[in-house]
Amino acid sequence: MKFNQEKLKEYQENINKISKRKSNSDTQNMLWAMEILNNQNLILNLQNQIENLNKAKLLLINETIRKLKINRDIDLKKIK
């Protein structure tokens, strides 16, 4: 994610540089559009990574709770 954050900053800087240049050039406009697209793709990728990490976290929590309940039940049976 650190790599993506650095790339996001780089793309943002490039967008700022391109947008400061006043031009009616189709090439300039195409470069700007490509940088915006790269920025959007990077943001989407980061959002997907965050979502995947959240799902993994929930799975880990649920699995841990399940194992703790099983161990608790086994311990209770031993006590009886």
Write the single-letter amino acid at 14: N
Tokens of 55: 């799902």
User: pLDDT (tens digit, 9 = 90+) per residue, 34-69?
Assistant: 888 888 888 888 889 888 989 999 999 999 999 999
Return the sign of the alpha-carbon dihedral for residues 54, 58, 61, 64. negative
pTM, rounded to two decimals: 0.62
Write the single-letter amino acid at 63: E
Q: Where are the domains of the chain?
A: 2-79
**pLDDT above 70: residue 1:** no
- φ and ψ at 38, to 5 degrees? -60, -40
**Would you state the pLDDT for residue 57?**
93
Tokens of 26: 């189709």
**Would you state the pLDDT for residue 68?**
92
Q: What is the mean pLDDT of residues 9-30?
A: 78
